[in-house]
Structure 1
Amino acid sequence: MPLLQIENLTRSFGSTRALAGADLSMERGEIVALMGANGAGKSTLVKILSGVLAADGGRVSFDGRPFAPRSPAEAARAGVVTVHQSTDLVGAAGLTVADALLLNRFADRSTPFFVSRAGIRRAAQAMLDAVGFSLPLDRDFGELTSADRQLVAIARALANRADLLILDEPTASLSGEESRRLFDILLRLRERGLAILYISHRTADLEAIADRALVMRGGRVVGTFARPINFWAAIETMIGRRLDAARPDARPATGPAIFEMRDINLLPGSVTFDLSLHAGEVVAVTGVLGAGKSRLLQAIFGVTALHRGAMFLDGRPYRPKSPAEAIAAGIAMAAEDRHRSSLMPPAWPGHSLSATISLPHLDKWYPHGFLLGGRERREAERAIARLGIKAAGPLASIWSLSGGNQQKAVIARWEAEPSRLLLLDEPFQGVDVGARHDIIRAIRSRTDRATMIATSDPEEAYEVADRILVIDHHVLEPAASGFAALSATQEISA
């Protein structure tokens, strides 16, 4: 008898049919990869299994019994634990890492009313030791990187006695070493009989651990691939068309530089580097987590200050003191975590697709508080057509869109006004292959600006860039700071 059995599961949101008769089964002690383009129904399926949503129809059984949890807590008590891609609800600023690890226990009525700080640290350390993670227990959760927040979420989930663990893009913010450590843990859990439903767009992850892959499209499971998994065929099944194997031809850098960095030190003790970007050029910066990719982009965008060096935009000195100054000068940036940095909360007025695109342009588009000729709506309609955004219309809530379509909206925000340099930090995080191709096509179609992309995935860098630069934290002194410098010897012509 399968541990999990899903038959003819359906769920609609108004006229949108998210699940259209999905079937799925899982056995104990197997890792099943769930693949699918953004909007294929993966998130809806996971929310039903997690108790966040109720199905409209169909049947779900777990361990031989009907399964219809009404909350994540009820699902966890039954043995189904989910770690979502977004970690906003894992902890909050003001809590320590130890507090965040033990939040579930604090909510348990069996937990003593009085607990000591030493006891909290001991229990939290035991949780980390059990999964092989290393985290600073006394650090404020709000100061953690995306990777460390993800590790807290995974460690807390694995501390529960689960029969089925659902992981949604768990390595999106992890370094290669952290990912390998997680894979070792998951393989050990599989040997102990845990079933794992693993959702990821990274074929390298799935190749490392998946026993089989299920492909969703249009709210149904449309393909099953046993190990060794033919990922090329799986991806074509996922997007419903053949893939073009050829990457874009690299374009030589010509003409004067749009943007230059000279004698740059990101931090004290780092190696000095120079950098130049030309019109129409797409340059990818790749390296391990913590190597300094985000800090480099933030320094250009005025979020952080350079330790040393000079920047020039169209031949003129450029030294922004804030993102507002960078935007005014013609520099645009989409930060790494779109949920925290680019999207308005669902309860706020500016959470529609059109408002998401217009947000940084309000001074231009709303002079004296009056919208000029419906430009907001026109730009959203243009973005829907240009980037292939799947949305009900310009006024659709950004939170009703899949992750890939949310990212397209963030890119569209900076397509709406002319810019000289576009900075994209991990733009393909949680984005499926089809949406990634749409974004790459839009990026590379612009010849009036330069684009710099920071990515921890060399395959993504190779797919999108004319040139690839490696930022290497190993050359930095002091090493404990974790940042590095670009070196001319580390430049790769794509």
Structure 2
Amino acid sequence: MRAGSGAGAATRARPSSSTPAAAGRFVLRDLRKNFGRNAVLRGIDLTIEAGTIVALMGANGAGKSTLVKIIAGVHDASAGQMLCDGRQYRPTSPSDALRAGIVIVHQAINDNVVLDMDLLENLLIDEICQGRSMFFRRSAMAEKAREMARRVGLDIPLNRRVADISLADRQLVAIARALSHDPKLLILDEPTSALSDAEAERLFGVLEALRDRGVATLYISHRMSDIRRLASRVLTLRDGQITGDFAAPIDYSAAVHGMLGRSLGAAEIEPKPAGASVLSLRGLQTGPRVPPIDLDIHEGQVTAIVGLVGAGKSELAECIYGVRQPTAGTMRLDGKDYVPASPIRAVRSGIFMAAEDRGGGSIVGDFDVTRNITLPFLGAFTAATFLRRGAERRHARRSIEDLAIVTPGETAPIGALSGGNQQKVVLARWLTGKARLLILDEPFQGVDIAARQDIGRKLRRTADGRATLLLFADPDEAIEIADRIVVLNNGAVVADLSDPPFDRQMIVSSLSQSHDRRHAA
């Protein structure tokens, strides 16, 4: 195993007694991938032994998704070799990978499910597609599907359409299906991004049981808490190269340095005073059995609402943005009655929102980076009914530079960007217009720790003249950026904290009162 191939990388070499590469469950040798002249992977050497959980850390755009897609048979490698149990492994499709015992849950949640099919069909779709049975009998397969769902704590009727369940439940569907294959190598890309703490802990227990049975796991995550909980070894990837290989006890500061090429200081917040109330909620109920909310969001401040999955954060944001109608209560925007009939009305009123479901609710897959940034504000780039494409592209280039978006260029297809960089594109979009209220649901989802600080600084630097409302399940992410933290528990405000630094234990204690049951989307 090569260690420290990147300039300035801080690494800890594996002990010399480590299992030799040829004996590993899964081995990559000098793996390379070029897209045209762009070298994305630059000679990856790694070995994953059976019965281990190896974490892979990398900044957005480092090459993690490309690496996973090559292993999955989505892309061909430009050069190099892959071995599985000592045999050549050259998948030409995801089906090839599955037959070889390589099972992958991708970062983009909706890429792992078929929205128009129900829960049973999604759980058993691999079996259906492989034609193991000439006739698909639901009654005969229902118990198998129920057992798969039970394994990850998924308690939803099997006939429920997947489009109608929450993102967290879709993630669990994908994980349940992956675990059913008795994999040799399991690759999980940001698997807890939409899960509650209880759901994540349940997943960790399953992964540890698989490890004890000899399954090799490659766990890709930006969440240090996940990595500390699971990994016995950490690999860092930067600019398409392995820059560090850290064995237990893991030096996490050195691992972050290996990932970024520099040390990362703690984010510092200079609290901003509350300005005038921009949005006022009185007795607002997002559903018939949900407690009423009284809340004011103030100009100049970054307010974070923290709640477990299912606490009602997204439902509240959807009421403000006109996606759903509240069942009771009133909203006032800048002192005037505010009753948005649709997101279009909300945007015209100066309320912008980036939804939690980036792929389904924010990104337009057929558009390039520029058009994904400018789409709601094309009028600003229009003269006498003609779109000024040069001005539009110049704005996109400024946004790319300002937010350090890793992309081949402003005309690149949005699908060519990593998930974290797509998240930055969504932020760049809503910073294009002048907002009175900017709502971001899970803004750090799939974003590396350096990019989180970049986004946080940008949001705080531009906060004057608007109110900013951020929604988080992870209290640590809220603490990094907020002037004020509101804790939501089963739809009710149970804590309202100002003046950072915040008492993390108080936030966690308020969250712990929440039930683990989620409202189905």
Alignment TM class, shorter chain as reference? over 0.9
Whether 1:408 and 2:424 are equivalent positions in the alignment is yes
C-alpha contact (below 8 Å) 2:273/2:300 kept by paired residues = no
Aligned to 2:214: 193
- Report the alpha carbon displacement of residue 45 of structure 1 after superposing the two structures with TM: 1.1
- The correspondence for 1:270, drawn from 261, 278, 290, is 290
Q: Aligned partners of 2:102 and 2:337: how far apart in 1?
A: 56
Aligned to 1:226: 247
- Aligned ranges for residues 96-107 of structure 1 at < 5 Å? 96-107=118-129
Aligned to 1:456: 473
Whether 1:169 and 2:175 are equivalent positions in the alignment is no
Aligned to 2:497: 491
C-alpha contact (below 8 Å) 2:264/2:450 kept by paired residues = no
Q: Aligned partners of 2:27 and 2:188: how far apart in 1?
A: 18
Q: TM-score, normalised by structure 2?
A: 0.88
Give per-residue Cα distances to partners, 1:246-300, cap 9 Å, x unaligned. 43122221x3222222232233343333222222210111111000010111111
- Aligned ranges for residues 151-170 of structure 1 at < 5 Å? 151-170=172-191
Give per-residue Cα distances to partners, 1:31-62, cap 9 Å, x unaligned. 00000001111111111111111111122211
Q: Aligned partners of 2:475 and 2:425: how far apart in 1?
A: 24
- The correspondence for 1:441, drawn from 427, 452, 457, is 457
Q: Decide whether aligned partners of structure 1 residues 335 and 225 sit closer, same or farther in structure 2, where only a CA change above 3 A counts.
A: same
- Report the alpha carbon displacement of residue 364 of structure 1 after superposing the two structures with TM: 4.7
Report the more deviating stretch, 14-23 or 212-221.
14-23
Give per-residue Cα distances to partners, 1:293-333, cap 9 Å, x unaligned. 10111111111112222222222221211111110011100
- Report the alpha carbon displacement of residue 131 of structure 1 after superposing the two structures with TM: 4.8
Whether 1:23 and 2:39 are equivalent positions in the alignment is no
- Report the alpha carbon displacement of residue 175 of structure 1 after superposing the two structures with TM: 0.8
Q: Aligned partners of 1:34 and 1:248: how far apart in 2?
A: 30
- Report the alpha carbon displacement of residue 363 of structure 1 after superposing the two structures with TM: 4.5
C-alpha contact (below 8 Å) 1:266/1:485 kept by paired residues = no
Report the more deviating stretch, 237-246 or 380-389.
237-246
C-alpha contact (below 8 Å) 2:106/2:112 kept by paired residues = no
Q: Aligned partners of 1:132 and 1:381: how far apart in 2?
A: 45
The letter of the residue matching 1:270 is: V
Q: Aligned partners of 1:16 and 1:437: how far apart in 2?
A: 27
Aligned to 1:37: 59
Aligned to 1:283: 303
C-alpha contact (below 8 Å) 1:131/1:158 kept by paired residues = no
Q: Aligned partners of 1:412 and 1:490: how far apart in 2?
A: 29
Aligned to 2:349: 329
Q: Aligned partners of 2:318 and 2:222: how far apart in 1?
A: 26
- Aligned ranges for residues 29-178 of structure 1 at < 5 Å? 29-111=51-133, 113-178=134-199
Whether 1:183 and 2:204 are equivalent positions in the alignment is yes
C-alpha contact (below 8 Å) 2:406/2:417 kept by paired residues = yes
Whether 1:470 and 2:476 are equivalent positions in the alignment is no
* 2:191 partner SS: coil
Aligned to 1:389: 405
- Aligned ranges for residues 312-323 of structure 1 at < 5 Å? 312-323=332-343
- Report the alpha carbon displacement of residue 367 of structure 1 after superposing the two structures with TM: 6.5
Q: Aligned partners of 1:11 and 1:191: how far apart in 2?
A: 33
Q: Aligned partners of 2:379 and 2:271: how far apart in 1?
A: 37
C-alpha contact (below 8 Å) 1:468/1:493 kept by paired residues = no
- Report the alpha carbon displacement of residue 490 of structure 1 after superposing the two structures with TM: 4.2
- Report the alpha carbon displacement of residue 486 of structure 1 after superposing the two structures with TM: 1.6
- Report the alpha carbon displacement of residue 411 of structure 1 after superposing the two structures with TM: 0.6
Aligned to 1:344: 364
Q: Decide whether aligned partners of structure 1 residues 246 and 364 sit closer, same or farther in structure 2, where only a CA change above 3 A counts.
A: closer
The letter of the residue matching 2:466 is: R
Q: Aligned partners of 1:166 and 1:120: how far apart in 2?
A: 26
* 2:110 partner SS: coil
Q: Aligned partners of 2:340 and 2:72: how far apart in 1?
A: 45
- The correspondence for 1:419, drawn from 435, 455, 464, is 435
Aligned to 2:445: 429
Q: Decide whether aligned partners of structure 1 residues 142 and 367 sit closer, same or farther in structure 2, where only a CA change above 3 A counts.
A: farther
C-alpha contact (below 8 Å) 2:267/2:453 kept by paired residues = no
- Report the alpha carbon displacement of residue 21 of structure 1 after superposing the two structures with TM: 1.1
Whether 1:211 and 2:244 are equivalent positions in the alignment is no
C-alpha contact (below 8 Å) 1:201/1:432 kept by paired residues = yes
The letter of the residue matching 1:416 is: T
Give per-residue Cα distances to partners, 1:210-246, cap 9 Å, x unaligned. 1111011111111122223232321222111121224
Q: Decide whether aligned partners of structure 1 residues 135 and 210 sit closer, same or farther in structure 2, where only a CA change above 3 A counts.
A: farther
Q: Aligned partners of 2:383 and 2:418: how far apart in 1?
A: 32
Q: TM-score, normalised by structure 1?
A: 0.93
The letter of the residue matching 1:449 is: R
Aligned to 1:380: 396
- Report the alpha carbon displacement of residue 369 of structure 1 after superposing the two structures with TM: 4.7
* 2:200 partner SS: helix
Unmatched runs of 5 consecutive residues or more in structure 1 = 474-483
Unmatched runs of 5 consecutive residues or more in structure 2 = 1-22, 501-521
- Report the alpha carbon displacement of residue 373 of structure 1 after superposing the two structures with TM: 6.4
Aligned to 1:9: 31
C-alpha contact (below 8 Å) 2:128/2:136 kept by paired residues = no
The letter of the residue matching 1:90 is: N
The letter of the residue matching 1:313 is: L
Give per-residue Cα distances to partners, 1:115-140, cap 9 Å, x unaligned. 32211212211322445543321111
The letter of the residue matching 1:134 is: D
C-alpha contact (below 8 Å) 1:99/1:120 kept by paired residues = no
Task: Using the aligned pairs only, state the percent identity.
Answer: 45
- Report the alpha carbon displacement of residue 450 of structure 1 after superposing the two structures with TM: 1.3
C-alpha contact (below 8 Å) 1:38/1:405 kept by paired residues = yes
Aligned to 2:330: 310
C-alpha contact (below 8 Å) 1:211/1:227 kept by paired residues = yes
Q: Aligned partners of 2:170 and 2:315: how far apart in 1?
A: 18
- Report the alpha carbon displacement of residue 393 of structure 1 after superposing the two structures with TM: 2.0
Q: Aligned partners of 2:116 and 2:432: how far apart in 1?
A: 37
